[in-house]
Structure 1
Amino acid sequence: MSGSDSHPVRRRAFVLSAAAAAGTAALAGPLASPASAAGFGWSDDGSNYVVDTGASLVFKVSKTNGDLTSLVYRGTEYQGYDGKNSHIESGLGTSTVTIAQSGSTILISVTYGTLKHYYAARSGENNVYLWTNKADTSVSATRYIVRVKKGLFLNDEPDSYTYTSSTIEASDVFAKPDGQTRSKHYAKVRVLDYDHIGWSTGSVGLWIVRSNHEKASGGPFYRSLLRHQSADGGGLYEILYYGENQTEAQRFGLQGPYVIAFTDGGAPSSSLYPGTLTTSWADSLGISGYVSASGRGRVAGVGISGRNTAYPYTVGLANSAAQYWGSARASDGYFSIGGALPGTYTLTVYKGELAVYSTQVTVSAGGTTTLNTIAIPSSNDPGNASAIWRIGDWNGTPGGFKNADLMTYAHPSDVRAASWTGNVVIGSGTETSAFPCYLWKDVNSGIIVHFRLTAAQAAAAHTLRIGVTTAYANGRPQIVVNDTWTSAVPSPPTQPSTRSLTVGSYRGNNYTFTYSVPASAWLTDTSAYNQLKIYVASGSGTTSFLSAGTSIDAIDLLA
């Protein structure tokens, strides 16, 4: 098995029809008696290995390069668009491709240099199980893409560009005539938010059920493209490593299984989900890098104290070889993360997406490492600090700020976005919702926060904090108070160097900027409003929404 029993916080089926959403159609999953399926087996047509699952699915794999060249479900061909097959990255070159049957399982093995890729079929199932073992950087293998013929699944969701060809950024962000934006990047969800992605007509569903992502990078809150659809056809992705807005180094080794699943229109069976899928049937297949359930371990925590119960808490395990995560129980913080490879990990507790505690933990094969109650020091949560005023919540996200929700599935130029400019008044009751979630040097730098201080507050120096979640082109905040005191330009923290704010992702490296504002900067008239101007400093970036920018977590003036 290559899985974890750490369940996502919430499950979301990307179902695009009412019938599919109702979930009344048949599911696709492992069968109780797979060997009973009639017609199960494989053949060689000269160019491809042809596998009949004995259910309603027949698929072909090229003997030359390991491409998936055909996916026929109930007599209809679903694979392929624009003359392209389904495959790793953009396809491999000449490879060694072999096939073997072991009882009720057929395994196709593909070797291309140091890369090994596998397709498995189980008798009586409408599923294709896939594993990919990337050993090093000699082979580009950041994704598997299932290419789907045009016209079979139609949608106008955020992660499509079916009805528009007007490019507004690079070659992958588009504007519709009505001003709404579309891009394959706009999937809305983080890794922990979904088990599967795909489409349904109401009578046929085609899905990729994701793997546990133990060899991926970025952790539970990472966002990347999951699917797309255009006039030419559609694509479903399992991202093995995606360099955009990436916060971690690439991990190597076997990733999977991830599953291509057909259904009668409903969601795939939960028995295929990461955390519930068991693959003891694959233990003896000889898959390179495969580690069975017996060779894995578990970490369990009695509880977590010092939590702010208004927020969800997630516990993550990570080292250079693997990553896992699980949700902390709302009542007491209990957590359990299973299916982990043996090794020493950094255990991190997240309040929302903000790391508030870390320690080291060791996982052993076949064992459970039990931790006593983890106590989060009060000082580890910036939200516990006493503040004169605060905009937003310290939770590692721009949630609650203006346009924050929209920005996970739209471009900042989208017609649905509220104005990115506009100043804020402390005490108005709309401090957070009126403050833009993102600041750019060329768009809304210099935004003003108005606030009053009492005589005692104005007589003292104070610390101002600005928390950010990521930045583009080294954008970072510089402040001016009452046009009389200007902070130094802070050094840029380490952040991803690629696009982020315009492709649906605010997730980078959370960082807090602190500014020591002297008492001489404040107005002594308690009836007058002080003015805090926040500028974006950077010599990088280009113009407009690709100028230097940053995403805001929280802003406060400490007492």
Structure 2
Amino acid sequence: MSEPVQHAVGRRTFVVGGAAAAGSAVLAGPLARPASAAAFGWSDDGSHYVVDTGASLVFRVSKSNGDLTSLVYKGTEYQGYGGMNSHIESGLGASTVTISQTGSTILVSVTYGTLKHYYAARSGENNVYLWTNKADTSVSATRYIVRVKAGLFANDEPDSYTYAPTTVEASDVFRKSDGQTRSKHFSRLRVTDYDYIGWSTGGVGLYVVRSNHEKASGGPFYRSLLRHQSADGGGLYEILYYGENQTEAQRFGLQGPYVIAFTDGGAPSSALYPANLTTPWADGLGISGYVAASGRGRVAGVGITGRDPAFPYTVGLANSAAQYWGSARASDGYFSVTGVLPGTYTLTVFKGELAVYTTSVAVTAGGTTTLNSIAVPTSNDPGNASAIWRIGSWDGTPGGFKNAELMTYAHPSDVRAASWTGNVVVGSGTETSAFPCYLWKDVNSGIIVYFKLTAAQAAAAHTLRIGVTTAYANGRPQITVNDTWTSAVPSPPTQPSTRSLTVGSYRGNNYTFTYSVPASAWLTDTGAYNTLKIYVASGSGTTSFLSAGTAIDAIDLLI
């Protein structure tokens, strides 16, 4: 996992990322604290089960619908805004809710049709552990939202919009008076980039520590809502399937635990992080779909050769039932993916976010599948091809292109964005940084790349490649060379059908368009600039930044 990153904003520190000092382990809990005067236990007030963790946290669960209706930490209520509670989706409705205590663990079980949801408390801990078992599509998405009262934490991050009364797009993207944009969609982070999300005042921290996402969809590089805050209050999310910019079908089954964690202002304990958390205390609780550590396996690889040392490599495992991933060691490509459910998986090696190798692996309960050194074939990495010129890097992302980093936490209309128009000259040294990360039919279609060729190069046909990472409304590139030769309109590859480029995500399905340009298209004057015009073709989309568009990975002209 990544190292901690702290962003100081006003009176709050927003912390995301990796390791923090683990708390003491009273009763084997990862964030156990000395018990307060209140005793660990539960009661029934008639309409709620009231759970006292015996530390500084008391929470309530509705007996009628399984909503989390109260989170009182050190005497302060944190839960709820706008008359709404914390729950799955927008609330489940009439449910069967039961409670039980097994030693130092209290478990609240919620059944709503085929969906089962669980809250667990451990004696002496300021945590709530949650599991969700979604069996089918009877509940549309898989989202848990912790709703937080207004005014408890500072509010002006990219996902906040208290001071942004102007709607830019739909009803969920806003513009402040200074021209900056805000939206709950602007998470900035991929799943693999964070362990927890939340807020801190310096004296109190409230976080959701994510699960391992084994039943989520989209893989390690997926982006979705993480949190938001407005004048009404804030929300912290665990999203496993949201239906926006999804590249995979839903996965079903038990997901968790994910954890609501309170602290004295610091980061949550690293013992709660998905790579570290163990829950042997839950093995005998009867949670539907629960698989103990003994029923899981491991995949390890001694190394990966054929890597480009300029890029990080990730190894992913995926099948229709589960997904996992782990980082490959920079020195030799060693990797280890643990806690894997038994089954046969497609193993994918990613250079950055670009798949460069796949194979099949079988995982057994309690076993380790050890792989010999994986050799990535030279031809599998498009960056290995000899090129006359190249703009960007073949890594499956628009990284390095103009506005690329900003677009993970801002709308394309944001005042901080550099102009989306402007042409590019190969050999200027700014080819990549001057080329926009996104192209839209109604915004910057027809952008021009200027380049020179030697006499020998101009005498031959060449292949031009344009790699993309996603597309909106079937936007795809069509090219014209020197206003004399125009490519056919390529067929659209499979891409998500929802918004992407305007809600902080470039992650779709990587695809490479290839164009065979004849020698007759080139200028024979070696002192003159050839022109490549790139248009966005599509009959779909609307206008401006919601017109058909695409995100660029790399562009090159091969020798």
Which interval holds the TM-score relative to the shorter structure?
Answer: over 0.9
Aligned partners of 1:22 and 1:87: how far apart in 2? Answer: 24
What residue identity is the alignment partner of 2:188?
A: K
Partner of 1:215: 215
CA deviation profile, 1:446-497 (whole Å, cap 9, x unmatched) = 0000000000000000000000000000000000000000000000000000
Structure 1 unaligned blocks of 5 or more: 1-7
* CA-based RMSD: 1.7
Partner of 1:100: 100
What residue identity is the alignment partner of 1:377?
A: P
What residue identity is the alignment partner of 2:491?
A: S
CA deviation profile, 1:155-211 (whole Å, cap 9, x unmatched) = 200011011221010000000000000000111010000000000000000000000
Correspondence 1:76-95 to 2 at 5 A? 76-95=76-95
TM-score by length of 1: 0.96
Structure 2 unaligned blocks of 5 or more: none
Partner of 1:5: none
Aligned partners of 1:461 and 1:329: how far apart in 2? Answer: 41
Partner of 1:31: 26
Offset, 1:18: 7.3
Offset, 1:140: 2.8
Aligned partners of 2:80 and 2:304: how far apart in 1? Answer: 49
SS in 2 for 1:268: coil
What residue identity is the alignment partner of 2:319?
A: N
What residue identity is the alignment partner of 2:237?
A: Y
* CA 1:96–1:12: 2 relative to 1, 3 Å: farther
Correspondence 1:88-487 to 2 at 5 A? 88-487=88-487
SS in 2 for 1:432: helix
Aligned partners of 1:516 and 1:344: how far apart in 2? Answer: 39
Offset, 1:83: 0.3
Aligned partners of 1:265 and 1:199: how far apart in 2? Answer: 9
SS in 1 for 2:26: coil
What residue identity is the alignment partner of 2:97?
A: V
CA deviation profile, 1:330-352 (whole Å, cap 9, x unmatched) = 00000000000000000000000
Offset, 1:32: 4.4
SS in 2 for 1:240: strand
* CA 1:454–1:33: 2 relative to 1, 3 Å: closer
* CA 1:434–1:26: 2 relative to 1, 3 Å: closer
8 Å CA contact retained: 1:9, 1:327: no
* CA 1:470–1:150: 2 relative to 1, 3 Å: same
8 Å CA contact retained: 1:440, 1:549: yes
SS in 2 for 1:192: helix
SS in 2 for 1:331: coil
Partner of 2:526: 526
8 Å CA contact retained: 1:342, 1:363: yes
Offset, 1:31: 2.9
Aligned partners of 1:13 and 1:40: how far apart in 2? Answer: 34
Aligned partners of 1:322 and 1:122: how far apart in 2? Answer: 28
CA deviation profile, 1:77-114 (whole Å, cap 9, x unmatched) = 00000000000000011000000000000000000000
Larger relative contact order (C-alpha < 8 A, sep ≥ 6)?
1
What residue identity is the alignment partner of 1:125?
A: E
Aligned partners of 1:257 and 1:32: how far apart in 2? Answer: 18
8 Å CA contact retained: 1:29, 1:272: no
8 Å CA contact retained: 2:401, 2:435: yes
* CA 1:543–1:132: 2 relative to 1, 3 Å: same
8 Å CA contact retained: 1:15, 1:198: no
SS in 1 for 2:432: helix
What residue identity is the alignment partner of 2:64?
A: T
Offset, 1:235: 0.3
What residue identity is the alignment partner of 1:88?
A: I
Aligned partners of 2:289 and 2:141: how far apart in 1? Answer: 16
Aligned partners of 1:19 and 1:225: how far apart in 2? Answer: 20
Offset, 1:13: 5.9
Aligned partners of 1:196 and 1:376: how far apart in 2? Answer: 33
Aligned partners of 1:359 and 1:293: how far apart in 2? Answer: 25
Offset, 1:10: 4.6
CA deviation profile, 1:237-265 (whole Å, cap 9, x unmatched) = 00021111000000000000000000000
8 Å CA contact retained: 2:27, 2:104: no
CA deviation profile, 1:250-285 (whole Å, cap 9, x unmatched) = 000000000000000000000000010000000000
8 Å CA contact retained: 2:14, 2:199: no
* CA 1:317–1:15: 2 relative to 1, 3 Å: farther
Q: Kindly tell me the number of residue pairs found equivalent between the two proteins.
A: 552
What residue identity is the alignment partner of 2:233?
A: G
Confirm or deny that 1:558 pairs with 2:555: no
TM-score by length of 2: 0.96
Aligned partners of 2:506 and 2:119: how far apart in 1? Answer: 35
Aligned partners of 2:438 and 2:516: how far apart in 1? Answer: 23
Aligned partners of 2:7 and 2:25: how far apart in 1? Answer: 21
Aligned partners of 1:21 and 1:181: how far apart in 2? Answer: 19
